[in-house]
Amino acid sequence: MEPIKNWLQRNLKGDPILWVIVLIFSVISILVVYSATGTLAYKKMGGNTEYFLIKHAGLIFVGLFSAWLAHLIDYRHYSRLSLWALLASVPLLLFTYFFGGTTVNDASRWITIPVINQTFQPSDLAKLALISHLASMLSRRQQYIENFKTTLLPVMIWVGVICGIIVLSNASTALLLFFTCLLLMFIGRVPMKHMVLTVVIVVSLGGVALTAGQRWGTVQKRIESFTDKSKPVPFQLEHSYIAIATGGLTGKGPGKSTERNILPHPYSDFIYAVIIEEYGFVGGVGILFLYLAFLYRGLITVMRSYGAFGGLLSAGLSFSLVLQAMVNMGVAVGLGPITGLPLPMLSMGGTSLIFTGISIGIILSVSRGERELRPMTGEPDDAPRIPKQTALA
């Protein structure tokens, strides 16, 4: 055991508790996706459930490897990389929408990568790039945070452009990203009057883009079905309720879900319902606790950060992942309209798992950087730090 412990300490830097949480999520994801893909395997692979098990386990490994690589890079380098990623994401988003992106459910969100035949959502790259670049802009402008021209205007332009393009084909992702940006602006000490102005302008322009985009009709129907109680419960939500109700306290047991054969996308959008059906109320609460623990460790990294950029970067990415998880779980239990957002770190996916891994790796990179700086200060490793309002280059 000692050689393994030494190897882990040498190769897995950063917050060890965060690493443990991510590894637990990975194991749970493999188990639940293997169970939830039974019907999909029967329809597409002639009952070969091992195909999706091997494919998903491979993508989980690639995601973990991406996190490991990302956490080796000094997080301050992401300040420069984020701008290039953001500049690349704009033409990719526009190409996907206007020039033949792969269409699923009447929405052009994916680009199929040749040779490997794997779909890729440019919005995943855009989310990561925007949060990182927003953290960089806010950290560099802390001394001029109340200046509209030098601080708020560049922020408004980037947030408006990226969220505006994404909302054309994916309203829920755009709304969640915009809310994450507002949280980041609040943490970055942007004056409230400027935040209100940002909300008014971006929501107004975003509303125009939404009505002109592909998903306006779908958004209307989903909001009406959620708010109008006289209408029947949507099919997928009805069977999500059945899965949750029949799960009881401890669930039916691993692999014994029946609603997975009826629910649309039980391995992605409604995987939380399958988890509760198989593992019960205890399993559902356990998953919620893991996400809250992930957010807590991310915020601990923020508190220990020695620079504004590291703190804002960790906060933005942590909130982005956990807010998406809360929305997905809220939809499964009927607390919000259906969105189609997957459950991060658990749902079956393609390149989204890789970008999730990169986001986790960046958070770990921030915690790694602060842990390596701490011995030079003479402070105990557990000592919290309030982020300095200065930027690291």
Alpha-carbon separation of residue 253 from 26, 118, 237, 275, 284 (angstroms): 19, 32, 22, 10, 13
Same domain? For 149 and 37 the reply is no
What pLDDT is attached to residue 117?
65
Q: Is residue 385 part of a domain?
A: no
Same domain? For 81 and 225 the reply is yes
What pLDDT is attached to residue 383?
40
Q: Is residue 393 part of a domain?
A: no
Beta-carbon count within 10 A of 204 CB: 10
Chain centroid to CA 249: how far?
28
Q: Is residue 388 part of a domain?
A: no
Same domain? For 20 and 143 the reply is no
Angle between helices 351-377 and 271-304 (to 10 degrees): 30
Same domain? For 349 and 275 the reply is yes
Domain-ending residue, one of 210, 230, 250: 230
Same domain? For 83 and 225 the reply is yes
Q: Is residue 7 part of a domain?
A: no
Chain centroid to CA 362: how far?
13
Q: Is residue 267 part of a domain?
A: yes
Provide the phi-psi class of 224: left if phi over 0, else alpha when psi is between -120 and 50, else beta. alpha
Domain-ending residue, one of 212, 230, 248: 230
Q: What is the pLDDT of residues 20-29, one digit of tens each?
A: 999 999 999 9
What pLDDT is attached to residue 274?
94
What pLDDT is attached to residue 114?
62
Domain-ending residue, one of 205, 230, 255: 230
C-alpha–C-alpha distance, residues 237 and 202, integer Å: 31
For the chain, the domain total comes to 2
Same domain? For 163 and 225 the reply is yes
C-alpha–C-alpha distance, residues 354 and 340, integer Å: 19
| CA-derived radius of gyration, the chain | 21
- Paired residues of 103 in beta bridges: 108
Same domain? For 97 and 164 the reply is yes
Range of the domain at 309: 12-72+232-376
Q: Is residue 124 part of a domain?
A: yes
Same domain? For 91 and 101 the reply is yes
Instruction: Mark out the alpha helices in the chain (DSSP H runs).
Output: 2-11, 16-36, 38-44, 49-72, 78-98, 122-140, 153-167, 171-187, 192-212, 216-227, 235-247, 271-304, 308-332, 351-377
Q: Is residue 389 part of a domain?
A: no
Same domain? For 329 and 223 the reply is no
- Paired residues of 27 in beta bridges: none
Q: What is the DSSP string of 243-291?
A: HHHHHTTT-S-TT--SGGGTSSSTTTTTHHHHHHHHHHHHHHHHHHHHH
C-alpha–C-alpha distance, residues 129 and 89, integer Å: 8
Amino acid residing at 390? T
Same domain? For 151 and 214 the reply is yes
- Residue 110: which H helix or E strand, with range? strand 107-113
Q: What is the DSSP string of 355-392?
A: HHHHHHHHHHHHHHHHHHHHHHHT--TT---PPPSS--
Task: Evaluate whether 254 touches 313 at the Cβ level (below 8 Å).
Answer: no
Point out the residues of the chain with pLDDT beneath 50: 375-393
Task: Evaluate whether 130 touches 137 at the Cβ level (below 8 Å).
Answer: no
Same domain? For 272 and 203 the reply is no
Tokens linked to 137:
């802009």
- CA-closest candidate to residue 219, choices 177, 173, 178: 173
- The single residue listed with the structure tokens 């002109």 is 212
Contacts of 303 (CB under 8 A, 6+ apart): 311, 384, 385, 386, 387
Same domain? For 83 and 226 the reply is yes
Q: Is residue 165 part of a domain?
A: yes
